[in-house]
Amino acid sequence: MQRTVSNGKEGYTDKFFLPRDISIQNLIDYMPIAIYACSLSGHIIYYNKAAEKLWGYKPKAGEDMWSGSAKLFLPDGVPLPMDKWPMTIAIQQGIYLEEEEVVIQQPGGTKLNVLEHPMPVFDSDGKLLCIINVLLDVTEQRKSETKQAMLAAIVESSDDAIVSKSLNGIITSWNFGAQEMFGYEEQEIIGKPITTIIPEQYRMDELMILNKIRNNEHVEHFETYRITKDGTLIPVSLTISPITDKRGNIIGASKIARNISKQKEAEKALQHHAENLEIMNGMGKVISQTLDIDVILQTVADSTTRLTGAAIGAFFYNTVNDKNEPYMLCRLSGAAKEAFENFAIPRSTAVFSSTFNGGATIRSDDITHDERYARNMPFNGMPEGHLPVVSYLAVPVVSKNGKVTGGLFFGHPQPGRFTKEHEDLVSAIALHAAIALDNAKLYAEVTRLSDKKDEFISLASHELKTPITSLSGFLQLIEESLDDGDENKKFMKIALAQVKKLSDLISDLLDVSKVKAGKLPLSFSHFDLVQLTKEVVTQFQYSVRSHAVQLDCKLEKVMVHGDRQRIEQVIINLLANAVKYSPGAAEVKVLVTGNNATASVSVQDFGIGIAPELHQHIFSRFFRIEDEANKPGLGIGLYICKEIIQRHSGRLWLSSVPSVGSIFGFDIPAA
Ligand code: ADP
């Protein structure tokens, strides 16, 4: 039979058609309840249509016994022997059995839960005539009962709090999970308003949720807070669904609350680690890239102060000044330098000195209770006006050579702020900081020595310049006073040429010092670059016999605004290099080009060339290709040329192929 709901009323769709000549027999035949009867011998003597349908079988009269079902079982599935069948017992014992539940099996294998009611029928003399059995199919009912029981067990065993409430917010059910989570037992909370577990500040959320439920909407994974019986606030994730009655009316809401404290803690821990990682990365990047001691100290002080959550942090570092006198650098974080200005460097106190004297890391929940504290005059503790420090952490910074070069110090006005994690973190950073500081120190030392060398070159070349100039002058006078036929005149010319080389070298060295100091003097004027190049080439060809210098210039004139003498110096330098580094070649080409915007001169040789990987170094100070170290030179010519051309807002360039040759050239703006 089909149960249905229509217009809010329950009813049945199956229709029964009774024959016209209706009799009791007919009525029983067509009744929707299965009925059958057995003789005292157990033979089935009557069954109606409903019984036939239930069995799925049509028993043969006078043949089949006890039941229309070949097999019977107990509700738990255990097969029931025939002598235990309700009908058998009723016949054999002549008794009435009520609601005997068995499971019958239809020929197709379908099993149905059935309540049997075998009832003995007696005649007026009290003689047993037969047994009538009424069979009620309770299969659907049992299925739904099992489902209900399972659901109830799931709800009860769930770790989540599962609660139902009426539409006006009264708690109607409360599982064990809810009891565990909120601390209320079922009997004390049922009938109470749900607001019992909602903190004041989250009550508006509840109104929103109830509104959604009234509109038959679900609320999923809604994160909020609930309050337990003992007043603890716990973060929960709620999933709320409307509860409907059989007719589909919303009568309340079921609420599943999951305690997400652990998840929140994990999220917080993750975020904390991510932040720490970011700080560490940022710091690592800075201290591995810089060689500036101040920047390292400040970056490390700032990062470690953030990582430890300290109110103040300080990085003290022992170093030497320009005069090689020791002094202590201090970089603060979390406090302005002025906050400590009036206090002496604290290294001499008992607490501080232990760190600087190679002692272990000190981590104290309350330094004011440390035995080393308040031992030193004049303050006996922290001086007045000093930021109050209770939690204290001090980590020595040890250099590669094992010497303590500094210390990282942290303070907080509240006790117990620094953990083992902070201590480990700062100790690891102190190791990196020590390496970075060692490198920076080394670099500072190298820079200092390099500056000293530059200073020496500058001084020496300056000192040499004066005697060389007067030597050259006197040699020239002697040379002029000698007769052309005089043998010594030849020697004098050679001596003058050598003195000139020496003088050029000293000039170059002086130029290097000036370039380094950014003080190379230039004197600008308008001049014709074509004419200058022609003059230089002619002059150069006089002194160089090994190579023919070919000038290729299609232009009559290219005016530029620059230092004529310095540009001449550049062209001579390029020509001299071209000859010097192409010993086997016979010629050198000079090309002058120009347009309205740019004027260029390039010098091409057919010599040894330069490997591509060396191009980037070729204009550096004192750079010489090692294979060419036997050739005279100091590696400063191109360095000076580059500076001169750059000061003309131009570009010095090269194009070179090993064993083929090189072209060095410059472009400067045309006037
Ligand atoms: P140097 O006095 O050593 O020649 P430069 O600064 O003029 O100094 O040149 C730097 C280096 O560049 C030279 O030592 C040489 O190794 C290389 N170099 C310069 N010009 C040429 C060239 N035309 N061919 C090959 N190598 C060259």
pLDDT at 123: 87
Reading the block at residue 603, the tokens are 């010098």
CB–CB of 30/24 below 8 Å?
A: no
Beta strand pairing status for 128-137 and 111-122? Answer: antiparallel
446 lines ligand 1 (CB under 6 A): no
Q: Which residue out of 618, 639, 640, 655 has the highest number of ligand 1 atoms within 8 Å of its CB and is therefore the one to mutate?
A: 618
Asked if pLDDT for residue 117 goes beyond 60, the answer is: yes
CA within 13 Å, CB half, 572: 18
pLDDT at 347: 55
Nearest C-alpha neighbor of 404 from the set 340, 445, 359: 359
At which of 239, 259, 279 does a domain end? 259
Asked if pLDDT for residue 277 goes beyond 70, the answer is: yes
Place of tokens 């025939």: 82
Q: Is residue 146 part of a domain?
A: no
Cis amide linkage into residue 378, ω under 30° from 0: yes
pLDDT at 1: 41
pLDDT at 377: 56
pLDDT at 458: 87
635 lines ligand 1 (CB under 6 A): yes
CB–CB of 306/323 below 8 Å?
A: no
CB–CB of 157/143 below 8 Å?
A: no
In the predicted model, what is the mean pLDDT of residues 521-525? 94
Q: 97 φ, ψ to 5°? A: -110, 140
CA of 609 to the centre of ligand 1 (A): 10
Give the model's confidence band at 573: pLDDT under 50 very low, under 70 low, under 90 confident, else very high. very high
What is the helix (H) or strand (E) element at residue 453, kind and residue range?
A: helix 420-481
Ligand 1: nearest atom to the Cα of 625: 16
Q: Is residue 202 part of a domain?
A: yes
CB–CB of 245/251 below 8 Å?
A: yes
Q: Is residue 190 part of a domain?
A: yes
Residue 293 to residue 439: CA distance in whole angstroms: 9
Asked if pLDDT for residue 217 goes beyond 50, the answer is: yes
In angstroms, the Cα distances linking 568 to 252, 523, 559, 619, 632 are 99, 13, 14, 18, 21
Q: Which residue out of 504, 505, 581, 653 has the highest number of ligand 1 atoms within 8 Å of its CB and is therefore the one to mutate?
A: 581
Q: How many beta carbons lie within 10 A of that of residue 14, not counting itself?
A: 8
In the predicted model, what is the mean pLDDT of residues 88-113? 92
Residue 199 to residue 216: CA distance in whole angstroms: 25
247 and 286 co-located in one domain: no
**Ligand 1: which residue has its CA nearest to atom 23?**
578
Q: Is residue 477 part of a domain?
A: no
Mean pLDDT of the chain: 89
pLDDT at 17: 56
**Ligand 1: which residue has its CA nearest to atom 18?**
577
Residue 255 to residue 167: CA distance in whole angstroms: 12
In the predicted model, what is the mean pLDDT of residues 244-270? 89
Secondary structure of residue 206 in the 3-state scheme: helix
CA of 662 to the centre of ligand 1 (A): 10
More confident residue, 383 or 541: 541
662 lines ligand 1 (CB under 6 A): yes
Give the model's confidence band at 6: pLDDT under 50 very low, under 70 low, under 90 confident, else very high. very low
Asked if pLDDT for residue 73 goes beyond 70, the answer is: yes
CB–CB of 66/84 below 8 Å?
A: no
Reading the block at residue 261, the tokens are 């404290």
- Please list the alpha-helical segments (H only) found in 517-648: 529-543, 564-580, 637-647
pLDDT at 344: 54
In the predicted model, what is the mean pLDDT of residues 204-212? 85
Residue 655 to residue 612: CA distance in whole angstroms: 9
Residue 157 to residue 177: CA distance in whole angstroms: 7
In angstroms, the Cα distances linking 379 to 349, 375, 391 are 10, 9, 19
**Ligand 1: which residue has its CA nearest to atom 21?**
577
Q: Is residue 133 part of a domain?
A: yes
Q: How many beta carbons lie within 10 A of that of residue 169, not counting itself?
A: 18
State the Rg of the chain over Cα: 54
Q: Which residue out of 570, 624, 655 has the highest number of ligand 1 atoms within 8 Å of its CB and is therefore the one to mutate?
A: 624
In the predicted model, what is the mean pLDDT of residues 205-209? 85
Beta strand pairing status for 587-594 and 548-553? Answer: parallel
In the predicted model, what is the mean pLDDT of residues 520-538? 96
**Residue partners of 387: CB distance under 8 A and separation at least 6:** 311, 312, 335, 339, 411, 413
Q: Is residue 496 part of a domain?
A: no
509 lines ligand 1 (CB under 6 A): no
Asked if pLDDT for residue 187 goes beyond 50, the answer is: yes
pLDDT at 642: 96
- Each residue's pLDDT tens digit, 627-643: 777 888 889 999 999 99
pLDDT at 3: 45
In the predicted model, what is the mean pLDDT of residues 461-489? 91
For residue 346, give its domain range.
269-447
610 lines ligand 1 (CB under 6 A): yes
Residue 272 to residue 283: CA distance in whole angstroms: 16
Place of tokens 């000859």: 579
- Find the CATH number of the domain harbouring 427: 3.30.450.40
CA of 109 to the centre of ligand 1 (A): 103
Asked if pLDDT for residue 620 goes beyond 60, the answer is: yes
547 and 624 co-located in one domain: yes
Nearest C-alpha neighbor of 582 from the set 475, 491, 662: 662
Place of tokens 């067509």: 30
326 and 430 co-located in one domain: yes
At which of 389, 417, 447 does a domain end? 447
pLDDT at 167: 85
- Find the CATH number of the domain harbouring 177: 3.30.450.20
164 and 280 co-located in one domain: no
Residue 98 to residue 133: CA distance in whole angstroms: 10
Q: Is residue 151 part of a domain?
A: no
47-56, 142-151, 332-341 — which is least confidently predicted? 332-341
At which of 412, 447, 482 does a domain end? 447
CA of 629 to the centre of ligand 1 (A): 10
**Ligand 1: which residue has its CA nearest to atom 19?**
577
310 and 428 co-located in one domain: yes
177 lines ligand 1 (CB under 6 A): no
534 and 620 co-located in one domain: yes
Q: How many beta carbons lie within 10 A of that of residue 435, not counting itself?
A: 13
Q: How many beta carbons lie within 10 A of that of residue 348, not counting itself?
A: 10
- Find the CATH number of the domain harbouring 605: 3.30.565.10
pTM of the model: 0.56
Reading the block at residue 217, the tokens are 């909407």
234 and 308 co-located in one domain: no
237 and 285 co-located in one domain: no
CB–CB of 195/179 below 8 Å?
A: no
Residue 514 to residue 194: CA distance in whole angstroms: 86
43-52, 347-356, 375-384 — which is least confidently predicted? 375-384
Give the model's confidence band at 325: pLDDT under 50 very low, under 70 low, under 90 confident, else very high. confident
275 and 307 co-located in one domain: yes
Asked if pLDDT for residue 437 goes beyond 90, the answer is: yes
CA of 577 to the centre of ligand 1 (A): 6
The total number of structural domains in the chain stands at: 4
- Please list the alpha-helical segments (H only) found in 581-618: none
**Ligand 1: which residue has its CA nearest to atom 11?**
624
637 lines ligand 1 (CB under 6 A): yes
Q: Is residue 380 part of a domain?
A: yes
pLDDT at 11: 47
Give the model's confidence band at 20: pLDDT under 50 very low, under 70 low, under 90 confident, else very high. low
603 lines ligand 1 (CB under 6 A): no
pLDDT at 348: 64
251 and 274 co-located in one domain: no
**Residue partners of 227: CB distance under 8 A and separation at least 6:** 197, 198, 199, 233, 234
Ligand 1: nearest atom to the Cα of 608: 25
- What is the percent of the chain with per-residue pLDDT over 70, rounded to a whole number? 92
Asked if pLDDT for residue 386 goes beyond 80, the answer is: no
CA of 624 to the centre of ligand 1 (A): 6
426 and 303 co-located in one domain: yes
CB–CB of 598/669 below 8 Å?
A: yes
Give the model's confidence band at 342: pLDDT under 50 very low, under 70 low, under 90 confident, else very high. low
231 and 291 co-located in one domain: no
Q: How many residues does the chain have?
A: 671
CB–CB of 295/286 below 8 Å?
A: yes
85 lines ligand 1 (CB under 6 A): no
What is the helix (H) or strand (E) element at residue 503, kind and residue range?
A: helix 487-516
